[in-house]
Amino acid sequence: MSSSPPKLPLWVRQAILWWWGVLVVLWLSLGVVRQLRGLLIQLALALFLSFAMEPLVDRLGRRGVNRGVATGLTMLLLVIGVAAFLTAMGSLIATQLRQLAEDLPGYLTSAELWAEERFGVEIENADLIEQLQAGGQASEYLSGLADNLVGVGTGLLSGVFQLLTIGLFAYYLTADGPRLRQSICSVLPPARQLEVLRVWELAINKTGAFISSRVILAVISAVFHWVAFAVLDLPSAVPLAIWVGVISQFIPVVGIYIAGVVPTLIALGIDPTKALWVIVVLVVYQQIENYGLQPRVTAQTLDMHPAVAFAAVLAGTATFGASGALLALPFLATVQSFISAYIARHNVVESRLLTSTDTAPPEAGVEPSGAISHDAMTEPPDTDLDGPAEEQIEGDG
CA distance 254 to 257: 5
Amino acid letter, 29: S
pLDDT tens sequence across 244-253: 888 888 876 6
CB proximity list for 243: less than 8 A, separation 6 or greater: 89, 259, 262, 263
pLDDT in tens, 274-306: 889 999 999 999 888 877 787 778 777 777 777
Higher pLDDT, 196 or 320: 196
Question: Which residue type sits at 188?
Answer: L
Q: Which pLDDT score, from 0 to 100, does residue 391 have?
A: 41
Rounded Cα gap, residues 234 and 156, in angstroms: 26
pTM, two decimals, is 0.63
Question: How far are the Cα atoms of 369, 391, 395 from residue 350, in angstroms, in the given order?
Answer: 10, 19, 15
Q: If we measure between CA atoms, which residue out of 339, 40, 55 comes closest to residue 207?
A: 55
Q: Which residues contact 215 (CB under 8 A, 6 or more apart)?
A: 249
Does residue 116 have a pLDDT over 90?
no
Convert the pLDDT of each residue in 20-51 to its tens digit. Answer: 999 999 999 888 888 888 788 888 888 888 99
pLDDT at 41: 82
pLDDT of residue 321: 75
